[in-house]
Each structure stands twice: as C-alpha cells, then as structure tokens.
Amino acid sequence: MTEQGIQGKSCLQDPPRDPVEICLEINERAAGHPLYQDARKGLAPGSNLAWRVSPEPFSISKETFLYLKGLGNHLLKFYEATNRLYFESVKGQQPAWVHQLLDQGKPDSLIDYGRMNRFKRQLPTVIRPDLLFTETGRAVASELDSIPGGLGFVASLSHEYARLGFVPVGGAAGIVEGFAKMMRAQTEVADPTVAIVVSEEAGDYWHEFIWLGEALNEYGLETLVLRPQDLRFTEEAFEVTLPGGRVATPHIIYRYFELFDLKNIPKMELIQYANKKQRVFVTPPFKSYLEEKLLFALFHHPMLRRFWQTTLGDETCHALDSLIPRTWILDPTPLPPQAVIPGLEIDGQAVNDFRQLVHTTKKQRDYVVKPSGFSELAWGSRGVDFGADLSAEDWTRTLGSALDSFSQTPYLLQEYHKPAKVTARYYDFNRQEIRSFDGRARLCPYYFVSGDQAELGGILVTVCPADKKAIHGMVDSIMVPARVE
C-alpha cells in the first residue's frame, strides 16, 4: 500500500454539498451536545467542537479497505493464540516466564479469576488496533486495544456524515449493527438486555456510550448505560430499576472499566460472582494478560517463534510480522556477558543491558517508551515518551524510571515508525474558509467478534499536524470516519 493508497484523490474532490455549508451544519448540530464537548481551551470563536471540523470523511483506497477488512481475523487469531500461550505456560508446556511476565504486578485474586476453566476460551469481543501507515505503505500497529474508547464517538460521526451524503466504511450504522450482532452472539437468549457499565474513572467516555445506548435501543437491542452502583443483585440475577418503575434484568454486561481499577469500582465482587455463577455474561473477560501491550514483545521473541508459526499459520504470521513493530520489555535483570537482547542494536552494535541506551544520541533512540498495562498511565496516550524528542537528561530519567517500575508495571521499548504525510481539510472559523494542512494520520478500525469472525464495523481517523508525534484528538486535529475512494 502506497501513500496514495492511504488517502485517495476523492478526499480532495468536490463533496456532494458546499464544504463550508457541511462544516457549519456539523458545528451547529454539535452545539450543546456533551459528546462533542471538551474542557480544553483555545477553540476558535464560534466552534462547538473540541477539534477541527472537516468537510468530508478521510478517503482510503479500495486496496487499503480490503486489507483492513481482512485484518480483523488475523488479530482475533492472535488473541486466540495468546490465550493458548498463557495457559500452556501455566501448565509448563511453554516457558514459565511468559505467564510470570503477564501476571507481574497483578493481584492474586484477579489472576486466579482469569484462569478459571469456565472462562478459558473467552476472548475480547471488540478489537481495535491503532494503525500508522508509513511512507512505504506499510501498516504498523502501535497498540492493540481490547477495551477501546471511541465506539459511540465514531458511530455518531458516521451517522452525521452519512446524513450529509457520504458513505463511511460500515455505513451510517456499522458500529451500532456490529455491536448489536456481537452482543447477541454471546447468549442464547432470543431478545437479550445489555448493560454497558462505565466506571467513574472512565467517565470521559460516558456521553459516547449514552449515544451508543440510545442508538442500540432504536436498533432493537435493549441497552442500559449504567454506573456500577446502579446494579442491584439478587440471588438469581442483576436488576435495574428504570424511570417509570420498570425493572430490567441484564443478560450481558459490557465492561467499560480497566482491570487495574477494580478495587475502586462499586459492587465489583458481585459482578464477578454473578459472572462466575453464570447469572450474567461479562465481556470483555477478566483476563488481564489479554490487555497487556507486552504481547507485541512476546510475538517477536525468538524462543516463541515456533509456537507462533505453528499456532497462527503462515498467512497470519506473515501479516503480523509486518504489522507488529519490534518491541522489547524493559527488564533490568542483568544478562551474562555472552548474552544479548535479541534484535536490539545501537548502530549495528549488539546490546546486552538496556542501560546502554542511556548514552545514545537522539537519532539513535527513535523509540517509544510506554507502560505495558494495568496502570492508570497505560491508556489514553498517557505515559508515552518519544526518545528522539527528549533531552539527554530526560531520556536518562525516563529510561531509569521505566526499568525501576519493572516489578509492578513493566514498561516497553518500541520502534517508532513515522506515518506518511497526508493532506486534510478543515473549516477555519477565524478566516471563515476551508483550509488544507499537511498532517499524519492514525486509523482505528473497530472489529466486532461473532463466533470465529471479527467483522469491521467502522474506522475512526485522526489527523494531526505533521510536526506532532503523538496522534490523538487534540484541538488542531481532525477526527472523521473513513470512506472508500
């Protein structure tokens, strides 16, 4: 896939309506809607959104679309293989250090719960990689998220742009339909009730799940969006009293809270008890090892290579080889002098201690340092440092802090791949005109698992100015759904 394959010509062709009119209508419909608001400052006078509004979705080529459509099943196979690797490591059929690394810093109660036989085959039901397309056309996944934000957000954006005559990937309701199909696949109940449970810690995503819940109800899937404390447990099931006095009994809980925060979540023991007794089905499962970013490092570990090749098969292994960047776990344990860290070099010189990276130049340390998981710093672009942007002093401090955190929160060293430049348009509220800018894009496709298939429901694209390395929803970015050229 070339740069032209990422962003096709149609992104700059005439839209079905006047582009200024489109932007102003989106801005007007966003007025007062909490889903689109943000506490950040610096928005232009007259703007109701916390980002630049674009007159069109982001255009991708048919080739890129077909690649992304097929990627979901490869990622699902990766989760299946990882789940197997973990259990085989526990049983002694694979190296013990695998499960020891994945369990590091976790409470014993969560580890034991995730190992229960009744949950053994359960996997994440929503999968979202963060993809960067390089100048060579290679897609690189900086992360893989099994409890992703943005579901309601990209669903609402797809709905808005479809109203204006565009055809986003998945259509106007691709996220809603995919989520509903995925939920129904988790139970034999013909007409299930779903509770989307959002913790206080994840409160930034509350309004987007409110939007998604309303859309799911309109689609025919009864959906409740709740705080954990809204659930009332009886010996048979959870109950929720709705406005008007009706009592609903959820069959499925979609968990939108991080596992590191369980101790702060009301009624957590009851939720886990009901799930264990099969009074309610909870997804994603309480398996902390499937939510660790260090899975990327395990994929590239030479001692596990035969396992991945045998378990994944040639096609998926080849796809992931290209997709997953080289990643290392920042482990301070000394190596013997004749050992080296596999694949890590400084100007061709092998490395056998991560502390040797302290003396590198900015050009030599084009890496990202970030926590693996089970930490308040491991989500929402927090805790991420780009080595090439740091001073020598800050780089030394970052590396030292990451190594010191190993016993509780392992950190990762990951190759940084610069995304290709793309062109995006937005409405300038100050000049009252459409303007273009050079940026770099992150594509976030959302896959919904039903049975043995992971189906693409929609794609959120974030384009930030080209001088930004961390791509996220900042004030001077655009965020739009993708469409096919």
CA–CA separation, 196 vs 181, rounded Å? 15
DSSP run (H or E) holding 252: strand 252-256
> What pLDDT is recorded for position 470?
85
> What pLDDT is recorded for position 16?
62
β-pairing verdict for 252-256 and 281-283: parallel
Q: In the predicted model, is pLDDT for residue 9 greater than 80?
A: no
With cut-offs at 50, 70 and 90, classify the pLDDT of residue 475: confident
Q: How far is CA 423 from the centre of its chain?
A: 24
Q: What is the pLDDT of residues 435-449, one digit of tens each?
A: 999 999 999 999 999
Angle between helices 305-312 and 314-323 (to 10 degrees): 120
Please, is 188 exposed, middle or buried when counting C-beta atoms within 10 Å of its C-beta (0-12, 13-18, 19+)?
exposed
CA–CA separation, 440 vs 463, rounded Å? 5
Q: In the predicted model, is pLDDT for residue 184 greater than 60?
A: yes
CA–CA separation, 317 vs 310, rounded Å? 9
CB atoms within 10 A of CB 402: 22
Helices marked H in 325-410:
392-404
With cut-offs at 50, 70 and 90, classify the pLDDT of residue 6: low
Contact call for residues 479 and 460 (beta carbons, < 8 A)? yes
Query: Mean pLDDT, to the nearest integer, of 298-325?
Result: 97
With cut-offs at 50, 70 and 90, classify the pLDDT of residue 360: very high
Specify the pTM.
0.94
